[in-house]
Amino acid sequence: MPGTLQDRVAIVTGAGRGIGQAIALKFAREGARVVVNDLDAGPAEETMAAIRSLGAECVACVGNVAATGFGEEIVRTAVDRWGGLDIIVNNAGFVWDSVIQKMTDEQWQAVIDTHLTAPFRILRAAQPVIRGLVKEEQAAGKRVVRKVVNISSVSGLYGSAGQASYSAAKAGITGLTRTLAREWGRLNVTVNCVAFGLIGTRMASDYADGNEAEIEGRKIRLGVNSEVLATLSQRIPLGRPGTVEEAAGAVYLLTIPESDYVSGQTLVCSGGLVGL
């Protein structure tokens, strides 16, 4: 029996690990063809191996989403391989926290570029492609609904001490989402956002675990202070952090036909956590 997303062409950024990987695998199980992006080739290949084991199709587009020209590259990868583009998930990101008086311009700009400028560039590059596909479909008497899901955070909704850049970027992505929902409605594209709370990933791990990311030659420590982590966990009404599979499920909800009339919305996936 065909999956819910059978033969749909999906781009998932940051798909080598964590939530992005779980999204890519969920899509693959439902029959989608997935463009797998990660900063590094190794994690991207791990995700692709898992996708292939499911009998699904995939292709890699390795690189920094914030790099100039990357938006055009990842869109071209999808179109060159499968001739179309149906789903875009802007998921790639990292945190580089500091209180504002200690935050450097470099910290600020790196986070803004990855979480806000990169999605803008990818969506800008996708618009002419989608518009062309829609014209062809209209001429053939067809109507195809396409999906964009941008990833935000409860930090962008409520603010988070020590995360001025991250909170600002995640607040910005909700504004971009609402604007494109208005601009792209005529193209039969729904544009929505998922704001995650505490999900069990490297970004939300204990600092003591020693997780790091290397971005453009910079080693950035990942995680949350153990005391903050414990406090947040206690405040979640469901009593625990979410899993990456649960996070992927929230994104999936906004890509299936049942959500074809939902656009310009932010779905909060936080186990009931309100505020930080």
What are the catalytic residues? 166
The tokens for 26 are 């969920």
C-alpha distances out from residue 200 to 9, 47, 55, 211, 247, Å? 27, 18, 27, 13, 10
Nearest to 144 by CA among 56, 64, 60, 84: 84
* Beta-carbon contacts of residue 237 (< 8 Å; ≥ 6 apart): 271, 272, 273
Q: In what order do the strands lie in the sheet with 58-60?
A: 58-60, 33-36, 9-12, 87-90, 146-153, 189-196, 266-269
Determine the Cα–Cα distance for residues 144 and 212; give it in Å rounded to an integer: 41
- 8 Å CB contact between 15 and 26: no
Q: Which residue has the tokens 């603010």?
A: 159
Closest CA to 58 of 27, 35, 88: 35
d(CA 175, CA 13): 20
Q: Residue 47 has which token pair? A: 């995700």
Distance of CA 273 to the CA centre of its chain: 20
